Amino acid sequence: MNPEDLKYTKDHEWVRSLGNGRVAVGITAFAQKQLGDVVFVELPSVNDRFEAGEPFGSVESVKAVTEVYMPLTGTICAVNPGLGDSPEDVNTDPYGDGWMIEITLAKGDGMADLLTAPEYEDYVKAESAD
């Protein structure tokens, strides 16, 4: 089950509001399951700025290398230092220790366009049926 307190993208990222215009971002349980065992995570630098929809890094698994996309426009204010030594956290705890980045949102960029947990689950079911 996807946590109800998060928002989701159609690119399979999750977004958690941290308050004060900051959010944490990672990939969903569905995404990590599709990737298989994660062996390396490439993340941006603090203070890098990205537009919504731009790739901010990549996840390398035993199956493939996949880009990870910015869910919202903003500036990177933190990256998960633990993923360098323990990229498998993306598999074992995608909504906790497997978080990837924190973003300070650009003014006016809210989470209204992101999916709720039920909407994301419906989207995954529809996508899997194709």
Whole-model pTM?
Answer: 0.94
Give kind and range of the element (H or E) at residue 40. strand 38-42
pLDDT recorded at residue 29: 96
CA angle 55, 33, 21 (to 5 degrees): 45
The structural domains of the chain, ordered by start, are 10-107+115-122 (2.40.50.100)
pLDDT recorded at residue 80: 98
Inter-residue contact 21 to 49 (CB < 8 Å) = no
Q: Mean pLDDT for each consecutive 10-residue tract of the chain (130 residues)? A: 92 95 96 96 98 96 95 97 96 97 88 93 89
> How many residues are there in the chain?
130
pLDDT recorded at residue 2: 85
